[in-house]
Amino acid sequence: MSMDFEPVIGLEIHVQLNCETKMFCSCPNRPGDDPNRNTCPICLWMPGNLPLFSREALEKATLACLALHCEIQKESAFDQKVYYYPDLPKGYQLSQFHKPLARNGWLEIIGENGAPNRIRIQKIHMEEDVARLVHEYEGRHPVSLVDFNRAGVPLVEIVTEPDLRSPSDAMEFLRLLRMQLRYSGSSDCSMEQGTMRVDANVSIRPRGTDVFHTKVEVKNMNSIRNVGDAIAYEISRQADCVKAGEPVVLHTRLWDPDKRVTSPMRAKFEGPCVPDPSVPLIVIEDEWLETMKSRLPEMPAHREERFVNAYGLSRDEAVLMSSDRELSEYFDSVVRFDVSPRLAAQWISAQLLPLFKEHDENPADSPVTPERLAGLLAMIEREEINANSAREVLKKLRDGRSSAQQIVDECGYRQVSESAELDALVDRVLEENPSAVENFHKGAAKAMGFLMGRAMQASGGKANPRLLKEIMTKKLG
Amino acid sequence: MQSEVFHHFDPSASSGENGGPLYGRRAAVQSGICVRGWPTEAGSRALKGFKAIEDASVVERMRRAGAALVGNTRTSELGFGLYGDCSGKALAEGLADIVLMTDTLGEARVAAALAGLCGFKPSWGRISRFGLIGLVPSMESCGMMAGNPGDIRVGFEAIEGIDDRDPSMPGSNVPPRVNESGTPALPPSAGIVTQCLETLDSVERVAFSRGLSRLRLLGIPVREVKFEDFDLFRTIHQVIGSVEASSSCGKYDGVRFGHRASGGGNWNEMYLRSRSESFSPLLKTFLFQGAWFQFENYEAFEKACRIRARLADESRKLFSGVDVLVFPARRAANHAASAQTLDRIYDAFSLTLLSNVTGQPSISLPGFVTAGEEDLGLQIVGPLFGDERILSISEWLFRKGEEAR
């Protein structure tokens, strides 16, 4: 990218709400099932049917808007976005164009320079997803198949202001957005699964000016990293255009994740939007809105602050512990059993997260419940076992039902803190390794590590390391 | 079986629930009203071979009230206008006692006026639209036709009311009934719209003034009221109606049901061919007009919506001075049953459009507005949700009219 240009980026993000049913009928919201299983006369739009707007869709959409600090509009309404395509069974998509559910939201990202940067969200509206088209061959004849499982699945579309200035801004914004929405419980937000789809509008302008130039829309990115890469590619492509004296033309481009380039796609058809006469006007009452607000959990930024202030976590520990709602709730529960919050955070991040990942588990349904983990951490705090043994105990906690205490007792992990016993052990180790002792006295600090290792080994890993070192140092001294 | 009048006919249909208010009555529905398992083509090639999957709510309620459902009548294309409509014939030939039919431009009232019957369009929102293959959702109501207003009242009471499957009904916003049937203030006062009188030709004037004289004889005070923008109803109906029709017809693509054209190298060609073969020149004109407003002149559509709200408001205010408004139901010279162009259709229905635009209830009665052999029908329009009121007035008028004859 040339230093002369500044990119201007806005995002349009479609997020699938994790409702039980579709938006206008009671079909299950499970687009991945066998084709055309989850359909009914309403979502197939058979003649004579009328859309029945789902309360849950409104609730989840509202939670999503609140999580993005939007103002919920007193009145919102559905329009018909008209276009003809076999993925759209009625010739129009029910979407909110003239009266969206929410406006004026924001998220505060930390920019590349480390300073906070508030990114404005222009509006969020609800809409139904369309069917999925599958293009195949029957012998030599191309056929197009329509899977209506996805038709009518509830979505919100989030439209930002063109406030982003770099690919990394965009990626940071998306990560934050995803975290907020997952916290709100309204969506899984997986770009890989297609429950979050991002289009980026990119333009460039001479640095220091504030006009907007022709934008190009980039689509088809299936990960946050790809969004960053596609934007970066598009910025340099436009800069090359400008340097070569070619005009940037308004159009849509597709990101090719294999070739890592964008290429132009068919001209995008923008249909008109007319008010829908069948879906009633949505009027939000204050009392209902308060109920929705009360359903939002403590959001990540607050939770992070609380973890720093109330629990004394470091900033990095607090960020990690608050990054995921389930994880943060797990952490909170562990701490409630009166164990050191920092010890808990360290054990969760270094030991438990890899374990969850290995077994593809969520914190909430792991057999290592907060109570059982707290039992183990308490023993570490009381120096009843050392870290090595504790890692073994943790594995056994995951695989069995016994408490940490029981495992330690049954397997003999209890730490040896008896001075007499350790005294004898150290004597024996020093006696068996005269050359190491000699080296130590010659000033080789490494020899101490070697001797400690031997002593620990001799104890079967159960020696209290602090006490062991004390004795060893004294005897060598 | 099929017949000239019926798309599907079952003369031996048994009555519904014993003891219901419609027990023993034979009901027919237009073929755009869904009856489970019946061919439901709504007079359109776009629905060729389509069999309804479920009963419309109005059908379910007719059955529950005891009616025997004898068949569905052939109808104009998607119920728009009366060209090809046989609902009047079904009654005139004694094959049914009551017919449910869509009223989009005034079809139920005008068909009744043509056949010497009573035709009713309820307030928008009083009748569930579930199971009606509509064309202009915000203008049409499921109306009905019968030989006398008493049957219409019974039919209306059987089918009206909130339905979970039609969320567009006003629900709890419906005000208490304006006046319970049986206890209306009689005789009512009637208003005639000056600006409407100005549009009547000589035959219509003669017939209408005879009708007004008959009303005065029954003790009904008639006075003129002003409605400056009366001439706008036609334009507003056409602009908004065409836009909604264009959207409603989006589902006729040959993908899931109805006519699918053969040939066509890709989905786009299949679409184009199927759709171009599915609609008549009349419907195409209407749909093109709607698409033009959607795509090319959205501002005109928005303006029409604003004017519509104003017209509804002005129309509401007229009822502060009179109980009902009266008009002829149909024109003398423009025959609705043969109208096949948009202009001729809007000419033929120009006297009934008002209540489709405002949503107000309206009924047409025979025997009042006559000139020689011609009966243009007396159209009575009431305030929104004043359905019971105009039905009671109609029953009273009908009885008085019969006594007078």
CB A46 within 8 A of CB B258: no
| Average confidence (pLDDT) per 10 residues, chain B, 405 residues | 86 79 94 95 95 96 94 95 94 95 97 96 96 95 97 96 89 51 72 96 96 95 96 97 94 89 83 93 96 93 97 95 96 89 96 97 97 94 95 95 81
Tell me the Ramachandran region of residue A36: left when phi exceeds 0, alpha when psi lies from -120 to 50, beta otherwise: left
Confidence grade of residue A7 (pLDDT, cut at 50, 70, 90): very high
Match 């019968």 to its residue by tokens: B146
Q: How many angstroms separate the most distant Cα atoms in chain A?
A: 95
Interface touch B167/A89, C-beta < 8 Å: no
Per-residue pLDDT for A2 more than 50?
A: no
Measured distance CA(B85)–CA(B63) in Å, rounded: 23
Q: Give me the percent of chain A exceeding a pLDDT of 90.
A: 56
Within 8 A of B50 by CB-CB distance, chain A residues are 47
Interface touch A86/B253, C-beta < 8 Å: yes
Instruction: For residue B368, give the amino acid letter.
Output: F
Q: Bridge partners of A205?
A: A6
Percent helix, strand and coil across chain A, each to the nearest 5: 40, 20, 35
Alpha-helix runs per DSSP H in B230-381: 232-248, 267-278, 281-295, 298-318, 342-348, 353-358
**What are the phi and psi torsion angles at A106 (to 5°)?**
-165, 160
Interface touch A52/B165, C-beta < 8 Å: yes
Beta strand B378-381 pairing with B362-365: antiparallel
> How far, in Å, are A374, A389, A393 from residue A401 at the CA level?
15, 18, 12
Sequential DSSP letters for A341-385 = HHHHHHHIIIIIHHHHHHHT--GGG-SS-HHHHHHHHHHHHTTSS
Q: For A24-71, what is each residue's pLDDT tens digit?
A: 999 999 999 999 999 999 999 999 999 999 999 999 999 999 999 999
Instruction: For residue A372, give the amino acid letter.
Output: R
Interface touch B42/A47, C-beta < 8 Å: yes
Q: For A140-187, what is each residue's pLDDT tens digit?
A: 888 888 999 999 999 999 999 999 999 999 999 999 999 999 999 999
- Interface of chain B toward chain A, CB-CB under 8 angstroms: 34, 40, 42, 47, 50, 52-54, 56, 129-133, 137-138, 164-168, 243-244, 246-247, 249-251, 253, 255-257, 267, 271, 294-295, 298, 301, 305
Within 8 A of B34 by CB-CB distance, chain A residues are 47-48
Compute the mean pLDDT over every residue in chain A, rounded to the nearest whole number: 90
Measured distance CA(B274)–CA(B278) in Å, rounded: 6
**Nearest chain B residue (CA) to A88:** B251
CA–CA min distance B317, chain A (Å): 24
Q: What is the pLDDT of residue B26?
A: 95
CA–CA min distance A316, chain B (Å): 51
ipTM: 0.89
Of A15, A128, A9, the C-alpha closest to A65 is A15
Closest Cβ–Cβ partner in B164, B267, B295 for A144:
B267
Query: Each residue of A408-443: b (16+ CB within 10 Å) or e?
Result: beeeebebbbeeeebeebbeebbeebeebbebbeee
Within 8 A of A271 by CB-CB distance, chain B residues are 294-295
- Residues in chain B, overall count: 405
Q: What is the pLDDT of residue B181?
A: 44
Measured distance CA(B62)–CA(B23) in Å, rounded: 10
Q: What is the pLDDT of residue B173?
A: 53
Q: What is the pLDDT of residue B179?
A: 45
**Any idea of the CA torsion for A23, A24, A29, A30, to the nearest 10 degrees?**
-120
For chain B, which residues make up each domain, given as ranges? 6-162+189-230+308-404, 232-307
DSSP, collapsed to helix, strand or coil, labels residue A157 as: strand
Q: For A421-472, what is each residue's pLDDT tens digit?
A: 888 888 888 888 888 888 888 888 788 888 888 888 888 777 888 888 888 8
**Any idea of the CA torsion for B133, B135, B141, B146, to the nearest 10 degrees?**
-70
DSSP symbol at B174 = S
DSSP symbol at B231 = T
Sequential DSSP letters for B112-149 = HHHHT-EEEEPPTTTB--TTB--S-TTT-EEEEEESSH
Q: Does domain B6-162+189-230+308-404 have CATH number 3.40.1710.10?
A: no
CB B326 within 8 A of CB B222: yes
CA–CA min distance B289, chain A (Å): 14
Closest Cβ–Cβ partner in A47, A80, A278 for B168:
A278
Measured distance CA(A128)–CA(B167) in Å, rounded: 17
Interface touch A272/B244, C-beta < 8 Å: no
The 3-class SS string of A429-440 reads: HHHHCHHHHHHH
Tokens encoding B20: 């219901």
Measured distance CA(A473)–CA(A462) in Å, rounded: 19
Confidence grade of residue A381 (pLDDT, cut at 50, 70, 90): confident
Q: Bridge partners of A16?
A: A155
Interface test with A, best of B29, B45, B54, B247 (most A CBs within 10 A): B247
Interface touch B295/A272, C-beta < 8 Å: yes
Interface touch B131/A48, C-beta < 8 Å: yes
Per-residue pLDDT for A192 more than 80?
A: yes
Assigned fold of A419-476: Arc Repressor Mutant, subunit A (1.10.10)
Other C-beta atoms lying within 10 Å of the C-beta of residue A42: 20
- Residues in chain A, overall count: 477
Measured distance CA(B34)–CA(B15) in Å, rounded: 18
Other C-beta atoms lying within 10 Å of the C-beta of residue A300: 22
Residues of chain A with CATH 1.10.10.410: 419-476
Q: Report CA B218 to chain centroid distance, whole Å.
A: 28
CB proximity under 8 Å: A 416-475 to B: none
Query: Each residue of A358-369: b (16+ CB within 10 Å) or e?
Result: eeeeebeebebb
Chain B touched by A36 (CB under 8 Å): no
Q: Report CA A312 to chain centroid distance, whole Å.
A: 24
Confidence grade of residue A315 (pLDDT, cut at 50, 70, 90): very high
Q: What is the pLDDT of residue A81?
A: 92
Q: What is the pLDDT of residue A3?
A: 52
> How far, in Å, are A62, A440, A445, B170, B302 from residue A465 at the CA level?
54, 19, 17, 77, 80
